[in-house]
């Protein structure tokens, strides 16, 4: 994560990955999971900085990544690092035709989320994050505690 940089001052609009982030090449996820697909994403994946109160997500209409401007400006660097890598896994899933918002599953049980978190947790462990820190990272306001704990168990965090 040492080479990771966030261009926090960007205005709302559409950007390429490298205009917003640098240093992702050194991540475990790019080196071991995305590999050459990341080169393709750098050319084709759009990042849209928008005004919203959340974090980031992949839009299933076109596979672009939306980031809330406030989060980009003020979010914790490590959280943003893990989040963008998590979203890049979703871009990869989207490119393969997965339904990223499959309503048959709750958030923490959705196969696309479990897979993305599996890789994100591996990245987090490599950053030296403790179980408690990873559990805190997995906690999101839209999913209940019980489901988050189940997810953590499924990911071998607990
Ligand atoms: Zn996700």
Q: What is the pLDDT tens value at each position of the chain, 158 positions in all?
A: 879 999 999 999 999 999 999 999 999 999 999 999 999 999 999 999 999 999 999 999 999 999 999 999 999 999 999 999 999 999 999 999 999 999 999 999 999 999 999 999 999 999 999 999 999 999 999 999 999 999 999 999 98
Beta bridge partners of 48: 14, 66
**Number of neighbouring beta carbons within 10 Å of residue 157:** 20
Range of the domain at 111: 5-154
Domain count within the chain: 1
d(CA 100, CA 78): 24
Measure the CA angle with vertex 5, ends 155 and 61; round to 5°.
60
Per DSSP, the three-state class of 50 is: strand
Residues whose beta carbons lie less than 5 angstroms from ion ligand 1: 113, 116
Tokens at 10, concatenated: 């960007």
In the reported structure, the alpha carbon of residue 3 is separated from the centroid of ligand 1 by a whole-number distance in angstroms of 24
The whole-number pLDDT of residue 1 equals 80
């Amino acid at each position: 994560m040492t080479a990771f940089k966030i261009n926090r001052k960007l205005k709302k609009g559409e950007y390429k990955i490298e205009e917003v982030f640098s240093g992702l090449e050194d991540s475990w996820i790019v080196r071991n999971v995305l590999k050459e697909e990341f080169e393709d994403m750098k050319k084709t994946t759009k990042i849209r900085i928008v005004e919203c109160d959340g974090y980031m997500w992949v839009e299933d209409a076109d596979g672009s990544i939306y980031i809330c401007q406030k989060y980009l400006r003020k979010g914790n660097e490590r959280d943003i690092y893990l989040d963008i890598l998590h979203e890049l896994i979703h871009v990869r899933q989207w490119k393969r035709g997965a339904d990223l918002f499959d309503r048959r599953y709750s958030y923490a049980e959705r196969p696309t989320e479990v897979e993305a978190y599996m890789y994100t947790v591996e990245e987090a462990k490599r950053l030296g994050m403790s179980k408690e820190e990873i559990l805190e990272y997995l906690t999101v306001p839209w999913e209940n505690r019980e489901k988050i704990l189940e997810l953590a168990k499924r990911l071998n965090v607990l």
